[in-house]
Structure 1
Amino acid sequence: MNPRKFFGELRRRNVYRVAVAYAVVAWLLIQIATQVFPFFEIPNWAVRLVVLLLIIGFPVALILAWAFELTPEGLKRTETADAEHLPTRSRTRTWIYVVVITGAISIGVFYFGRYRSSKQSESTELPAKSIAVLPFENLSRDPDNAYFADGIQEEILTRLAKIADLKVISRTSTQRYQSKPGNLSEIAKQLGVANILEGSVQKAADQVRVNVQLINALTDAHLWAETYDRKLTDIFAAETEIAKTIAETLQANLSGKEKSAITARPTENSEAHDLYLRGRYFFGKRTVNDFKRAIDYFNQAIAKDPNYAPAYAGLADSYVLLPEYSGQRADESLPKARWAANKALELDSNLAEA
């Protein structure tokens, strides 16, 4: 066959149009597969299968375009269709519809891809193994038990901070947020974390109830929640269990040393522990009188348990900051701070607070 006649025949049988239309639709389907499939957690092999089928289908589409033509009466062989001279206007109109619909879908896929990419970049900017422990709500009937809720929050945070594979935001950064804030996503962005731990504490006599829930702040999904009913003498075990479960949920790796650190019991004396928590509570208020009250409580805790390392660390912290807030000479309190810090490290060389 004459090459000119052959190419003319390709044009007459709309093979060129089919090739262009097939390429446009194939591109569109590939875009949909790459953008939408991950959204529904469809595996990657499905995308590869779509691409492979489209490649195989290309020569098949060209052969069908050569042999057949779509007419108002249905699919007919090209010779028959030519004999009836299908109106050009009908073909043109159909072609316009195909282009418009394809363009509209392409725009939709484009903007969906941009939206999804922005969401992905937003989530990838925040480490998955990152957490902020917000202030715990005091549900006790006695409002004076707020010190206990604050203390439990701080001790859980301290245990989590001993896990190197976790990014844990300091208590100083989280204290400005209320215990049950409305916009967790915004708070997470401000703190640079992907996860938030909320909680509440209810203390009555020698019993305590701790409610905690771990939330992925980006998706607002509840990853884990639990209620712990314990005696005051067993509160350290609850804190340890909470820290371990959070580490497991966020898939943080723990070394043997870190496992020992988060299971440590700083004291067996529940009275000393209670006095220590009161000391930390007043220490956090940052006033001269509150520093003095904190020092008094830390000394009482040490009197109950002379081997209570965190109490010595709290005493050292109070003596260090007292001159800054009171205006008294530093040489009066710094020797006491140095002695308390050395004692804390003597009792526990791995104590972060010291």
Structure 2
Amino acid sequence: MGKSIAVLPFENLSEEKANAYFADGIQDEILTKLAGIGDLKVISRSSTAKYKSKPEDLKTVAHELGVATVLEGTVQKAGNRARVNVQLLDARVDTHLWAKSYDRDLKDVFAVESEVAQEVADTLRAKLSPSQTDALATAPTRDTEAYDLFLKGENEEHQAESALSAEAFDRAAMFYQQALARDPKFALAYARLAYSELYRHWFISNLTSAELAEVKSNIERALAIAPASPDAHLALALFYYWGYRDYDAGLRELDQALELQPSSSNSRNYRASIYRRRGEWQRALAEFDRAAELDPRDPLNPYDMGVTYLSLRRWSDAEHAFTRALALNLHYALAAQDLALTYINSTGDIRRARRAFEGVPAESKVSDASDWGSIAVMIDHRVYLDVFEKHFADALKAWDTPPSNTPEARLRHLEARIGIQVLAGQGAVAKSECEQTHALLESRLAERPEDRISLTALAWVYVCLGRNADAVRVARQAADLLPIEKDALSGPFLLSGLAEIE
């Protein structure tokens, strides 16, 4: 296992339990500093977050994470003081290597994070370059209030990414912006704000060109303040990749991010994703595998491998990967959806496909905003199983109410109901909903003319309204926006959507 470490969640000992975000933030910053040391293998936060602060069976935890050492800690925040206790353990024999307590003013908490990271590196005899030594000592901001707001933003961001919640993304952005209002030179807050907005753009609702330009300006501010910020280079990589599918520019920035933070599983996962969209399937699988070594308990990595196998029609490998993802998180809706899709495409076994969703709440509606095209995605894959068996009333009942009260959710609700009724041959019954949705989509496309999700939905609205030529025209327009040559993963979905309309 060599020089390897997992930083387990720090226990919050503060009287105010709402201060848990502060303990999480201290742990996260120490982990991030260690991840910048090329001589160390550092396990990602998304894997370590699955464990308790002080697990009873340390050897098993270390084995599951693939590390030799573990850092445990507690944090107690009271007024303007913070007490941080840390201990480094050799998990193979469950013995202490080093332990220390820090009782400091909040304004000195950055020094504590740097000192802990440096002590760990020294104890593990990790070799550091001069730039890595400088990075360990660098504080993200000197304003303790700005840092506190930033940590609240990070807490909301983790929840937003887990639940794909527009409301949580809004709260994260609010805290990041408040932190920047306190400290306009807070490079990390600019970078994380940009990352959050790009994540929302890709998975929930596309940004306009003007909004993307604002995201780019935040990244440029971050890089102007901190040219060696791995988070800023990662955000810029996603701006190129998720914003404009400029794969070459995205890969260049990911290379830079990995040079600055070698243990970043995120950067490796995104690099694998770009290889996949370029049709470099084996290269993608190898890179996803490397990401999984740094993040062995995150279901995203086996899920992404499953999506790759699914695209290659390697049904057995896909089933194994999605089953692994669900073993790590029984409620992982995207993994359940694609496991069901694997069963439908390989054997047509609808009963088995239904069983794939057993751990996913019935009210959960899942879609990946980047991969629309087929009507099954518009309706929701689980609901589409009812359509397969011509249980149209059950399918409509699943969409009785919108999943939330956001404009995006209300529009999605209308689109799904229209799709179901058209497939049921009840387009005339849905005419008023179709006319309402037509107006909403036309308005949205006026702002976002290349929004493939809206174009796909509009094609089905035209079918509902009996405007078949217009339906084929806009479905072809959506497919032409993203040909297979430009995106080997999503391009086929849009061609499939065109075929369904035709």
CA distance in 2, matches of 1:352, 1:329: 25
Segment drifting more, 185-194 vs 294-303: 185-194
TM-score when normalising by structure 2: 0.44
% of aligned pairs identical?
Answer: 48
1:292 maps onto 2:170 in alignment? yes
Structure 1, 284-293 or 209-218: larger mean CA deviation? 284-293
Normalising by structure 1, we get a TM-score of: 0.62
**Aligned equivalent of 1:343:** 221
Shift of 1:255: 1.7
Partner of 2:63: 189
Q: Distance in 2 between matches of 1:324 and 1:252?
A: 37
**In the alignment, which residue of structure 2 is the partner of 1:329?**
206
2-side partners of 1:249 and 1:233: how far apart? 26
Counterpart amino acid of 1:274?
D
- Tell me which residue corresponds to 1:253: 127
Give the alignment partner of residue 163 of structure 1, picking from 37, 57, 62.
Answer: 37
Say if 2:118 is the partner of 1:244: yes
* Counterpart selection for 1:142 from 16, 21, 45: 16
Alignment partner, residue 180 of structure 2: 302
**Counterpart amino acid of 2:87?**
Q
Q: Which residue of 1 aligns with 2:151?
A: 277
What is the rounded CA distance, in whole Å, between the counterparts of 1:337 and 1:131 in structure 2? 34
**1:64-104 deviations in Å (ceiling 9; x for gaps):** xxxxxxxxxxxxxxxxxxxxxxxxxxxxxxxxxxxxxxxxx
- In the aligned structure 2, how far is the partner of 1:259 from the partner of 1:284? 28
- For 2:191 and 2:47, the matched residues in 1 are separated by 21
Please report how far the alpha carbon of residue 324 of structure 1 lies from its aligned counterpart in structure 2 after TM superposition.
4.3
Structure 2 runs not aligned, ≥5 long: 233-502
Amino acid at match of 1:156: I
Mapped partners of 1:334, 1:285: distance in 2: 23
1:211-253 residue CA offsets vs partner (Å, 9 max, x unmatched): 1111111110111111110111000111111011101110111
Q: Which has the larger radius of gyration?
A: 1
Distance 2:176 2:83 in 1: 25
1:206 to 61, 74, 80: 80
Q: What are the Cα deviations for residues 23-57 of structure 1, in whole angstroms up to 9, with x where unaligned?
A: xxxxxxxxxxxxxxxxxxxxxxxxxxxxxxxxxxx
- Aligned partner of 1:229 in structure 2 is 103
Q: Distance in 2 between matches of 1:303 and 1:244?
A: 31
Q: Secondary structure at the match of 1:279?
A: helix
List aligned pairs for 1:24-63, cutoff 5 A. none
Alignment partners' CA distance in 1, 2:127 and 2:116: 16
RMSD: 1.3
Larger strand share, 1 or 2: 1
Alpha-carbon distance in 1 for matches of 2:11, 2:17:
11
Q: What aligned pairs does 1:93-108 form with structure 2 within 5 A after superposition?
A: none
Query: In the alignment, which residue of structure 2 is the partner of 1:311?
Result: 189
Structure 2 residue aligned with 1:320: 198
**Counterpart Cα distance in 2 of 1:222 and 1:231:** 27
Matched letter for residue 65 of structure 2: L
**Where does structure 1 lack aligned partners over 5 or more consecutive residues?**
1-125
Deviation per CA, 1:114-164: give whole Å up to 9, x if none: xxxxxxxxxxxx12x110101111111111101100100010011111111
Distance 1:324-1:143 versus aligned 2 partners, 3 A rule: farther
Tell me the distance in 2 between the aligned counterparts of 1:336 and 1:138.
Answer: 36
Conserved in 2, the CA contact under 8 Å of 1:319 and 1:336?
no
